[in-house]
């Protein structure tokens, strides 16, 4: 450290006790060192608490709106980071769900191409009789239910009036 920087460190109180004593003696006995110390001390004193007060060159509302917008924008960017497990789960779940949908489509198309259809159910009502017909095309099975309306109210006897006919 050169002598001038030592004088400065002495002015700033950055020297240990021994060094400070030595430099202090030198400053006291050497005119040039004394003048330098006075100058440095003068600048230090002049600048203490002398930062010029300034107003931001935009309105308080505009200033805050920009800060707020940036806060919200950065929060939106940061959000996916906070639910990282969700992103991982989604990464796993999306292909599995896609595969399941694909399987359903394939099964449905195979079923349709094989001529498998849902059973047909037809029901009709005449004056004294209710009729319900069930037909399964794949097995060629047809079931017809006949029910006497007069006996409908009497639940206990309803089963006695039911007849079924099986046809091929």
Q: Which of residues 51-70 bind other proteins (CB under 8 A)?
A: 51-58, 60, 63-64, 66-68, 70
Task: Give the residue, chosen from 4, 21, 111, 162, that forms a contact with other proteins under the rule CB under 8 A.
Answer: 4
Kindly tell me which of 55 and 118 has the beta carbon lying closer to other proteins. Answer: 55
CA-CA distances (angstroms) from residue 119 to 125, 138, 158?
20, 8, 26
Kindly tell me which of 50 and 96 has the beta carbon lying closer to other proteins. Answer: 50
Angle of helix 3-11 versus helix 31-47 axis, rounded to 10: 40
Rounded to 5 degrees, φ, ψ at 164 are: -130, 145
What is the size of the binding site for other proteins (CB under 8 A)? Answer: 38
Shortest separation between residue 22's beta carbon and other proteins, angstroms: 17
Residue 124 CB partners (closer than 8 Å, separation 6+): 130, 131
Query: Does residue 143 touch other proteins according to CB under 8 A?
Result: no
Kindly tell me which of 66 and 138 has the beta carbon lying closer to other proteins. Answer: 66
Query: Does residue 48 touch other proteins according to CB under 8 A?
Result: yes
Residue 55 CA to residue 36 CA, distance in Å, equals 36
Please say whether the beta carbons of 164 and 144 come within 8 A.
Answer: yes
Residue 55 CA to residue 78 CA, distance in Å, equals 32
Using CB under 8 A as the criterion, which residues of the chain lie in contact with other proteins when the complex forms? 1, 4-5, 8-9, 12, 14, 32, 35-36, 38-40, 42-48, 50-58, 60, 63-64, 66-68, 70-71, 74
């Amino acid at each position: 450290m050169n002598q001038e920087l030592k004088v400065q460190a002495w002015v700033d109180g950055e020297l240990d006790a021994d060094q400070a004593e030595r430099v202090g003696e030198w400053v006291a006995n050497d005119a040039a060192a004394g003048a330098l110390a006075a100058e440095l001390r003068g600048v230090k004193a002049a600048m203490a608490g002398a930062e010029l007060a300034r107003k931001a060159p935009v309105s308080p509302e505009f200033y805050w709106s920009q800060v707020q917008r940036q806060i919200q924008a950065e929060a939106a960017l940061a959000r996916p980071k906070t639910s990282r497990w969700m992103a991982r789960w989604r990464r796993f779940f999306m292909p599995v769900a896609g595969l399941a949908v694909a399987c359903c489509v394939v099964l449905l198309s195979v079923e349709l191409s094989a001529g498998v259809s849902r059973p047909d159910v037809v029901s009709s009502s005449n004056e004294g009789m209710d009729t319900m017909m069930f037909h399964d095309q794949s097995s060629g099975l047809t079931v017809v239910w006949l029910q006497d309306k007069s006996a409908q109210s009497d639940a206990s006897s309803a089963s006695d009036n039911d007849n079924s006919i099986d046809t091929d």
